[in-house]
Amino acid sequence: MKQPINTFVFAAITATALSLSLSGTAFADSREAVQPTLLATDSTMDKAGETMDKAGEAVSDTWITSKVKSTFLADKNLSGMAIEVETKQGVVSLSGTVASDAERDLAIAKAREIKGVTDVSADGLKTAE
Protein backbone atom coordinates (compact mmCIF):
# COMPACT_ATOMS: atom_id res chain seq x y z
CA MET A 1 0.00 0.00 0.00
CA LYS A 2 2.89 2.40 0.68
CA GLN A 3 4.24 1.89 -2.83
CA PRO A 4 1.35 3.76 -4.64
CA ILE A 5 1.40 6.61 -2.07
CA ASN A 6 5.17 7.01 -2.42
CA THR A 7 4.79 7.05 -6.22
CA PHE A 8 2.08 9.72 -5.95
CA VAL A 9 4.17 11.87 -3.61
CA PHE A 10 7.19 11.59 -5.91
CA ALA A 11 5.04 12.54 -8.93
CA ALA A 12 3.59 15.55 -7.09
CA ILE A 13 7.01 16.79 -6.01
CA THR A 14 8.39 16.35 -9.52
CA ALA A 15 5.45 18.21 -11.07
CA THR A 16 5.85 21.06 -8.58
CA ALA A 17 9.58 21.33 -9.21
CA LEU A 18 9.07 21.40 -12.99
CA SER A 19 6.32 24.00 -12.80
CA LEU A 20 8.47 26.28 -10.62
CA SER A 21 11.36 26.10 -13.02
CA LEU A 22 9.07 26.95 -15.94
CA SER A 23 7.26 29.76 -14.15
CA GLY A 24 10.34 31.98 -14.33
CA THR A 25 10.11 32.10 -18.12
CA ALA A 26 6.44 33.02 -17.96
CA PHE A 27 7.29 36.15 -15.99
CA ALA A 28 10.30 37.09 -18.09
CA ASP A 29 8.33 39.42 -20.39
CA SER A 30 9.96 42.72 -21.23
CA ARG A 31 8.70 45.90 -19.53
CA GLU A 32 7.35 47.22 -22.84
CA ALA A 33 5.13 44.19 -23.32
CA VAL A 34 3.70 44.47 -19.82
CA GLN A 35 3.13 48.26 -19.76
CA PRO A 36 -0.05 48.40 -21.93
CA THR A 37 -1.62 45.76 -19.72
CA LEU A 38 -0.83 47.82 -16.63
CA LEU A 39 -2.43 50.90 -18.16
CA ALA A 40 -5.57 48.95 -19.04
CA THR A 41 -5.66 47.54 -15.53
CA ASP A 42 -5.33 51.01 -13.96
CA SER A 43 -8.25 52.27 -16.05
CA THR A 44 -10.32 49.26 -15.09
CA MET A 45 -9.43 49.74 -11.44
CA ASP A 46 -10.49 53.40 -11.60
CA LYS A 47 -13.87 52.41 -13.06
CA ALA A 48 -14.25 49.68 -10.46
CA GLY A 49 -13.49 52.21 -7.73
CA GLU A 50 -16.16 54.58 -9.04
CA THR A 51 -18.67 51.74 -9.14
CA MET A 52 -17.78 50.75 -5.58
CA ASP A 53 -18.27 54.36 -4.43
CA LYS A 54 -21.75 54.37 -5.95
CA ALA A 55 -22.52 50.99 -4.42
CA GLY A 56 -21.25 52.19 -1.04
CA GLU A 57 -23.50 55.21 -1.26
CA ALA A 58 -26.50 53.02 -2.07
CA VAL A 59 -25.72 50.70 0.81
CA SER A 60 -25.31 53.67 3.11
CA ASP A 61 -28.68 55.09 2.03
CA THR A 62 -30.29 51.69 2.48
CA TRP A 63 -28.75 51.37 5.92
CA ILE A 64 -29.97 54.84 6.90
CA THR A 65 -33.50 54.06 5.72
CA SER A 66 -33.54 50.80 7.67
CA LYS A 67 -32.15 52.43 10.79
CA VAL A 68 -34.66 55.31 10.69
CA LYS A 69 -37.57 52.95 10.09
CA SER A 70 -36.52 50.58 12.88
CA THR A 71 -36.10 53.55 15.25
CA PHE A 72 -39.62 54.70 14.43
CA LEU A 73 -41.02 51.20 14.97
CA ALA A 74 -39.25 50.86 18.33
CA ASP A 75 -40.54 54.18 19.66
CA LYS A 76 -43.97 53.82 21.31
CA ASN A 77 -44.62 57.55 20.76
CA LEU A 78 -44.42 57.19 16.97
CA SER A 79 -46.76 55.39 14.61
CA GLY A 80 -43.87 53.85 12.70
CA MET A 81 -46.09 51.86 10.34
CA ALA A 82 -47.73 55.08 9.12
CA ILE A 83 -44.46 56.84 8.23
CA GLU A 84 -42.75 56.10 4.92
CA VAL A 85 -38.97 56.61 4.85
CA GLU A 86 -36.74 57.12 1.80
CA THR A 87 -33.09 58.16 1.68
CA LYS A 88 -31.07 59.61 -1.17
CA GLN A 89 -27.47 60.72 -0.65
CA GLY A 90 -28.03 60.98 3.09
CA VAL A 91 -31.20 63.08 2.85
CA VAL A 92 -34.13 61.33 4.55
CA SER A 93 -37.60 62.01 3.17
CA LEU A 94 -40.55 61.29 5.43
CA SER A 95 -44.11 60.91 4.20
CA GLY A 96 -47.43 59.63 5.49
CA THR A 97 -49.87 60.76 8.15
CA VAL A 98 -49.21 61.03 11.89
CA ALA A 99 -51.60 61.85 14.73
CA SER A 100 -50.20 65.24 15.78
CA ASP A 101 -47.64 67.98 15.18
CA ALA A 102 -45.73 66.70 18.22
CA GLU A 103 -45.43 63.25 16.61
CA ARG A 104 -44.31 64.85 13.35
CA ASP A 105 -41.63 66.85 15.19
CA LEU A 106 -40.51 63.74 17.08
CA ALA A 107 -40.15 61.78 13.84
CA ILE A 108 -38.00 64.53 12.34
CA ALA A 109 -35.84 64.74 15.47
CA LYS A 110 -35.38 60.95 15.64
CA ALA A 111 -34.40 60.82 11.94
CA ARG A 112 -31.80 63.57 12.41
CA GLU A 113 -30.15 61.58 15.22
CA ILE A 114 -29.25 58.70 12.89
CA LYS A 115 -25.60 58.52 11.83
CA GLY A 116 -25.14 59.45 8.17
CA VAL A 117 -28.27 61.60 7.88
CA THR A 118 -27.34 64.93 6.31
CA ASP A 119 -30.84 66.43 6.22
CA VAL A 120 -34.49 65.51 6.78
CA SER A 121 -37.30 66.50 4.45
CA ALA A 122 -40.73 66.08 6.02
CA ASP A 123 -42.81 67.91 3.41
CA GLY A 124 -44.77 64.72 2.75
CA LEU A 125 -45.42 64.01 6.45
CA LYS A 126 -48.91 65.32 7.28
CA THR A 127 -50.78 65.49 10.57
CA ALA A 128 -54.31 64.17 11.07
CA GLU A 129 -55.25 67.21 13.18
Sorted by sequence, the CB contacts under 8 Å of residue 7 that are 6+ apart come out as none
The reported pTM is: 0.57
Number of domains comprising the chain = 1
**Of 74, 77, 76, 96, nearest in space to 85 by CA:** 96
Domain range for 40: 2-127
Give residue-wise pLDDT tens across range 39-60.
555 666 666 666 666 666 666 9
Give residue-wise pLDDT tens across range 90-122.
999 999 999 999 999 999 999 999 999 999 999
Give residue-wise pLDDT tens across range 17-43.
555 555 555 555 555 555 555 555 566
β-bridge partners, 120: 92
β-bridge partners, 93: 86, 121
